[in-house]
Structure 1
Amino acid sequence: MYESLQQNYQLCEELGRGRFGVVYCCFSTASQSHASFACKSIYKHSLSDATDRRCLDAEPKILRLLSACPNILRLHDVYEDDDHIHLVTDLCDGGDLFDRLSSGNRFSEPDAAAILKQLTAAIAFCHRIGVAHRDIKPDNILFDSRGRLKLADFGSAEFFGVESEMSGVVGTPYYVAPEVLMGRDYGEKVDVWIAGVILYIMLAGVPPFYGDGAAETFEAVVRGNLRFPSKIFRSVSPEAKDLLRKMICRDASRRLSAEQVLIADFSASVDHKRRIDVRFEVIQPELYIETVVGGVVDESLTPFCLDENDIAPLCFGGVVAFDHLSICDKL
């Protein structure tokens, strides 16, 4: 099977290395475009238990179900032999959210809103399909070369239903929801809690719950005493803090759904009407157009009258994002 991989893709430089395998940059040799991809090669014998193997088997199946969402890492091909499984996915060479948070600079509300909008769109798409990610963290929130967010690493994802909740302690310190740590059955809103924690970190530069070590951090998460220190949150709007309270809500029944977060534009009151001048490119097969669009955009409305079957515009937090549009410059 490795020979089949080599027939269709040329592996290039190593991009990263993890506990179970290596990620390479690769390009397609089967098409004239020589498009670039990432290839995650996992050494199957390094999987220490049945749970790891189950996660590896489940991830490709789940990624194929979610392939229609532009904010979820797309799986293009899977190759398997006796020793390895190779997953060919989108190439995300724009880094990850962990890199951006590690710079130490807090995000402005419009920048945080733009990332939250894309992340929540990915989560809401998963939930419509009946999939919960369960282990979202900055490390697996990736960006492609155009800055578009791609949610990745679905190894811990699980299916859920109206009468079928999930169980098991899955997640990462700082981000895991309290109902997971308390050993209860839980629903898909664990992903909304995580997204709220990530939003808090983007705006504050620190997590809402922490301690000396994992055990103390978990205790703080279970208490769920959400605070907004005035020194840190002095410049954060009341709307942003209100959204955080509704996402990082200890009572999961009162916590917002991903769909509700999508329509909660917390930064709209900061500057409801904003003048934009954006140069963008529209890329279609055998077509390249570059133009300039300028005007006053009411952020509560769709900014341009376009066929939603071709282009789906979203305006959130002063940032205009388009499927199939690449924003090159914002003046």
Structure 2
Amino acid sequence: MSVNNHDYIKSFEPLWGSWKIEDLVGEGSYGKVYKISKDEWGFKYESALKHIEIPTREQYREAVASFDNNDENTLKEYFTDAVKNMVNEIRLMYTLRGTRNIICYEDHAVHEKNGEFGWDVLIRMEYATPLIGYIKENAMARQDVIRLGIDMCYALEACSRAGIIHRDIKDENIFISSSGDYKLGDFGISRILSGSGRAASMKGTPFFMAPEVYRGADYDIRSDIYSLGIVLYKLTNYGRLPFMPPFPNKVKYQDSEKALDMRMSVKYWISLSCPGKCWVKSYLKLVHLIWMIGLSPHRK
């Protein structure tokens, strides 16, 4: 793993023969996102580059701790499977190219590291503004949230037609294009890198997770719809999730834990409160009702 990540990523230039790195625009547990550009015939083209290292130091330590021995071949097979799974998710992104409300895949490359164990995965995508960055500087009116919800429904409809479940709908994975369209991104990358199943999902706080995903039960596209409802609720409730203390009351750590427990318990939904935003409250209750009917073993 690189000491100076910026110098390291610059070593891949020119990317795809002509692209150069401009700025770091975001980072998370499993990778960094850069703004990249190229000049051609007097025009400047811009894209986003996601750089993911497999494994990270933490992933390597966890893998070593989970095996009975530190056999290098076993570890290589383990992380080779992770790379293959990621490439499969990239292939799904490729099948959704041209969908208006989904971040457009452009290209990718997988490089095995020289002189050390691991791989560098580079994914070039459409450049768009992250929603969480946008709302820090811009207030979202009711009509903006409604439009976001509609655009995300179009995105989920496209996923459903392609047989794809996103499984990680949250505000961090929603973007705004230069034309003002809301777009869904990050298909399964963090889920693959953290492993699979409930244990992997629980490595992060499941703020937007549907109860069946939280419990490790079977799930389908309705789980994505549920998560979208939580996103809309947060956007219209002063950035607070269901069952959190109403604004402007202070939020304590135990409030988050209690709110999560209540959200995973169906009996509390009748008391859901969303001050001054009754349309979202009604929508979210409807989403939850549809979700419960759909998951009922007695449904017709």
Q: TM-score, normalised by structure 1?
A: 0.63
d(CA) in 1 for partners of 2:190 and 2:293? 21
Q: Which amino acid aligns with 2:111?
A: D
d(CA) in 2 for partners of 1:101 and 1:157? 23
Indicate the residue corresponding to 2:21 in structure 1: 11
1:38 paired residue among 26, 48, 56: 48
Indicate the residue corresponding to 2:93 in structure 1: 63
Q: Which amino acid aligns with 1:57?
A: V
Q: Unaligned 5+ residue runs, structure 1? A: 159-165, 256-331
d(CA) in 2 for partners of 1:22 and 1:249? 38
1:249-268 equivalences in 2 (<5 Å): 249=289, 251-254=291-294
Structure 1, 188-197 or 4-13: larger mean CA deviation = 4-13
Indicate the residue corresponding to 2:105 in structure 1: 75
Is the Cα–Cα contact under 8 Å of residues 13 and 19 in structure 2 kept in the other structure?
Answer: no
SS of the equivalent of 1:27 reads: strand
Indicate the residue corresponding to 2:131 in structure 1: 97
SS of the equivalent of 2:21 reads: strand
Displacement, 1:4? 6.8
Indicate the residue corresponding to 2:31 in structure 1: 21
Is the Cα–Cα contact under 8 Å of residues 167 and 184 in structure 1 kept in the other structure?
Answer: no
Closer/same/farther in 2, CA of residues 103 and 177 from structure 1, 3 Å limit? farther
d(CA) in 1 for partners of 2:105 and 2:291? 35
SS of the equivalent of 2:25 reads: strand
SS of the equivalent of 1:132 reads: coil
Is the Cα–Cα contact under 8 Å of residues 243 and 272 in structure 2 kept in the other structure?
Answer: no
Indicate the residue corresponding to 1:317 in structure 2: none
Is the Cα–Cα contact under 8 Å of residues 189 and 252 in structure 1 kept in the other structure?
Answer: no
Indicate the residue corresponding to 1:208 in structure 2: 242
SS of the equivalent of 1:64 reads: helix
Q: Which amino acid aligns with 1:155?
A: G
Displacement, 1:248? 2.8
Displacement, 1:251? 4.4
Cα shift readout 1:45-88 (whole Å, capped 9, x = no counterpart): 32725485455333311110111211111111112211312111
Indicate the residue corresponding to 1:143 in structure 2: 176
SS of the equivalent of 1:36 reads: strand
Q: CA RMSD in A?
A: 3.2
Closer/same/farther in 2, CA of residues 97 and 6 from structure 1, 3 Å limit? closer
Cα shift readout 1:247-277 (whole Å, capped 9, x = no counterpart): 133844348xxxxxxxxxxxxxxxxxxxxxx
Displacement, 1:33? 3.5
Q: TM-score, normalised by structure 2?
A: 0.69
Question: Would you say how many aligned residue pairs link Structure 1 and Structure 2?
Answer: 241
Indicate the residue corresponding to 1:178 in structure 2: 211
Closer/same/farther in 2, CA of residues 72 and 104 from structure 1, 3 Å limit? closer
d(CA) in 2 for partners of 1:17 and 1:157? 12
d(CA) in 2 for partners of 1:67 and 1:168? 29
1:282-321 equivalences in 2 (<5 Å): none
1:229 paired residue among 265, 273, 283: 273
Closer/same/farther in 2, CA of residues 102 and 54 from structure 1, 3 Å limit? farther
d(CA) in 2 for partners of 1:204 and 1:122? 23
Is the Cα–Cα contact under 8 Å of residues 30 and 190 in structure 2 kept in the other structure?
Answer: no
Structure 1, 200-209 or 219-228: larger mean CA deviation = 219-228
SS of the equivalent of 2:293 reads: coil
Closer/same/farther in 2, CA of residues 9 and 79 from structure 1, 3 Å limit? same
Q: Unaligned 5+ residue runs, structure 2? A: 1-10, 64-78, 114-119, 245-252, 296-300
Closer/same/farther in 2, CA of residues 214 and 121 from structure 1, 3 Å limit? same
Higher share in helix:
2
2:224 paired residue among 191, 194, 216: 191
SS of the equivalent of 1:34 reads: strand
Displacement, 1:41? 1.7
Displacement, 1:147? 2.3
Displacement, 1:223? 0.7
Displacement, 1:152? 1.0
d(CA) in 2 for partners of 1:74 and 1:154? 11
Is the Cα–Cα contact under 8 Å of residues 206 and 214 in structure 2 kept in the other structure?
Answer: no
Closer/same/farther in 2, CA of residues 245 and 63 from structure 1, 3 Å limit? same
Structure 1, 25-34 or 144-153: larger mean CA deviation = 25-34
d(CA) in 2 for partners of 1:22 and 1:88? 12
